[in-house]
Amino acid sequence: MKIVTLTLNPALDKSSSVERLVPESKLRCGPLQLDAGGGGINVSKGICKLGGRSMAVFPSGGATGLRLQAILQEAGVEMRVHAVPGETRENFSVTETSTNLQYRFTLPGLDIEESQADTMLNIVAQLQPDYLVASGSLPPGLPVTYYEKVAAFAKKINARFVLDTSGAALKAAADEGLYLLKPNLAELSALVGVEKLEMNQVDDAALEVIQHGSCEVVVVSLGAQGALLVTRDGFEHIPAPPAKKRSTVGAGDSMVAGMVWALSEGKTFHDMAQIGVACGTAATMNPGTELFQKADVEKLLGWIKEYGERYRFRDF
Predicted confidence (pLDDT) at residue 314 exceeds the cutoff of 60: no
pTM of the model: 0.92
Q: Regarding beta strands 89-96 and 11-18, do their DSSP bridges make them parallel or antiparallel, or are they unpaired?
A: parallel
Q: Is residue 23 part of a domain?
A: no
Catalytic residue among 35, 253, 271, 315: 253
Q: Is residue 144 part of a domain?
A: yes
Whole-angstrom CA distances from 147 to 3, 10, 313 are: 18, 16, 32
Q: Evaluate whether 36 touches 62 at the Cβ level (below 8 Å).
A: no
**How far, rounded to the nearest angstrom, does the alpha carbon of residue 250 sit from its chain's CA centroid?**
7
In single-letter form, the type of residue at position 306 comes to E
Q: Is residue 185 part of a domain?
A: yes
CATH code of the domain containing 193: 3.40.1190.20
More confident residue, 277 or 199: 277
Number of domains in the chain: 1
Residue 316 banded pLDDT, cuts 50, 70, 90: very low
- Sheet harboring 234-238: ordered strands across? 78-83, 55-60, 3-6, 131-135, 160-164, 180-181, 217-221, 227-231, 234-238
Residue 146's Cβ-side half-sphere holds a number of Cα atoms within 13 Å equal to: 25
Please state, in angstroms and rounded to a whole number, the distance separating the CA atoms of residues 189 and 67. 38
Predicted confidence (pLDDT) at residue 313 exceeds the cutoff of 70: no
Which range has the top average pLDDT, 57-66, 163-172, 226-235, 281-290?
Answer: 57-66
Q: Which domain holds residue 303?
A: 3-17+33-311
Predicted confidence (pLDDT) at residue 91 exceeds the cutoff of 70: yes
- The arithmetic mean of pLDDT across residues 242-257, rounded, is 86
Please state, in angstroms and rounded to a whole number, the distance separating the CA atoms of residues 185 and 209. 13
Give the pLDDT of residue 244. 82
Q: Is residue 24 part of a domain?
A: no
Give the pLDDT of residue 291. 85
Predicted confidence (pLDDT) at residue 312 exceeds the cutoff of 60: no
- The arithmetic mean of pLDDT across residues 176-192, rounded, is 93
What does pLDDT average to over the chain?
A: 92
Give the pLDDT of residue 289. 65
Would you call 118 a catalytic residue per the annotation?
Answer: no
Q: Is residue 276 part of a domain?
A: yes
Q: Is residue 27 part of a domain?
A: no
Give the pLDDT of residue 248. 76
- The model's pLDDT over 262-271, given as tens digits with 9 standing for 90+, comes to 999 999 999 9
Q: Is residue 178 part of a domain?
A: yes
- The arithmetic mean of pLDDT across residues 248-256, rounded, is 88
Give the pLDDT of residue 73. 97
Q: Is residue 26 part of a domain?
A: no
Please state, in angstroms and rounded to a whole number, the distance separating the CA atoms of residues 243 and 297. 11
Predicted confidence (pLDDT) at residue 146 exceeds the cutoff of 90: yes
Predicted confidence (pLDDT) at residue 315 exceeds the cutoff of 50: no
